[in-house]
Structure 1
């Protein structure tokens, strides 16, 4: 399979893995737009955050490649470590904080990176909840289907899209779930941009 075929295959996985329809704008603030969509068979909505960052794409990729450091701009991230790396594929373990009385979460993500002919970078996210034994102090996120895309624009700008649907596992109050699907993409993208645009 060549690079083009792999990219097309991953685009197909993205389309089928996050089967969201009828995106509705939920927040438009500080140059960040957050859209939500209901998911068939799930009580949790999918989210899509869109932002333009004034930075070189190589700087953005370096920030995302810094597994431990990226925890500083990922919403509610406590810590993050690389479990395994093989070429364009990475396996990440992340712990997330949660407001009382909700139990903190952890997740294992398989991240596959591709580069299109126009320079757009796509990072496909897929949860592997059984990859490691569960920690009794954390509830394992049972499902994540999502992606990041970084598309270079003119004059040193990059359009960044962060989209995901997840099943957090365990019990989550509706108020927290409804807040998370807006706060996660908005706060993550805002912090990502602030970090990327620092001199």
Structure 2
């Protein structure tokens, strides 16, 4: 029985750490303008995980407020067309997002469950998980099949270190050139635009 409990505990811990479990062998793909983007192969997937890191000269509370303005955040999220809150309950928020894609790729939409956890050191972790069947599919869009990742905000005095790490299974057919471009552009452009807004007076 004790060994069963230990296995159950390990499974629970691994589930909590799942966004980090594939975060190995990161290779820097872009290091520019104070933003470092790294990519990692993910076992069983043809799409790479991406991680972007930057330091924003603004307090954590300001960065957090920009993230929690779900509709407004569409202005700084890469290729976001529209975004809204579906439900908010405790530390969880469900959001719906529509994304632009270049022709002839069908536009994507996504339903994310965002779980916000305040860490003991004052940092903020926002875990991202796709829930593709949470709402019916929209005509003209392909629902993103899977998202695993997180935002991590770490206070550094009057600044905030921001990490944005995600692995996506976009659903449907996506050309390799677009997938390879997206995993670099998405974290870089998103962090750059978030930083510009956060650092405005």
User: Smaller-chain TM-score range?
Assistant: over 0.9
1:163-183: per-residue Cα shift (whole Å, max 9, x none)? 000000000000000000000
Contact 2:35 2:192 in 1 (8 A): yes
1:81-132: per-residue Cα shift (whole Å, max 9, x none)? 0000012100000000000000100000000000011100000000000111
Match of 1:5 in 2: none
Match of 1:17 in 2: 19
Match of 2:197 in 1: 195
1:185 aligns with 2:195: no
1:78 aligns with 2:81: yes
Is the alpha carbon distance of 1:161 and 1:135 closer, same or farther for their aligned partners in structure 2, counting shifts above 3 Å?
Answer: same
* Rg larger in structure: 2
Match of 1:3 in 2: none
SS of alignment partner, residue 190 of structure 1: helix
CA distance in 2, matches of 1:10, 1:197: 39
Could you list the runs of 4 or more consecutive aligned residues of structure 1 that deviate by over 2 angstroms after TM superposition?
Answer: 9-15
Match of 1:28 in 2: 31
Match of 2:60 in 1: 57
- TM-score, normalised by the number of residues in structure 2: 0.91
Give the C-alpha shift of residue 10 in structure 1: 9.3
1:116 aligns with 2:109: no
CA distance in 2, matches of 1:62, 1:17: 23
Q: Quick one: which of 142, 163, 179 aligns to 1:139? A: 142
Contact 1:54 1:197 in 2 (8 A): yes
Is the alpha carbon distance of 1:11 and 1:57 closer, same or farther for their aligned partners in structure 2, counting shifts above 3 Å?
Answer: farther
SS of alignment partner, residue 152 of structure 2: strand
Q: Quick one: which of 151, 165, 171 aligns to 1:148? A: 151
Match of 1:6 in 2: none
Within 5 A, what are the aligned runs for 1:156-171?
A: 156-171=158-173
1:119-168: per-residue Cα shift (whole Å, max 9, x none)? 000000000001111112000000000000000012x0110000000000
* Runs of at least 5 residues in structure 2 that lack an aligned partner in the other structure: 1-10
RMSD: 1.5
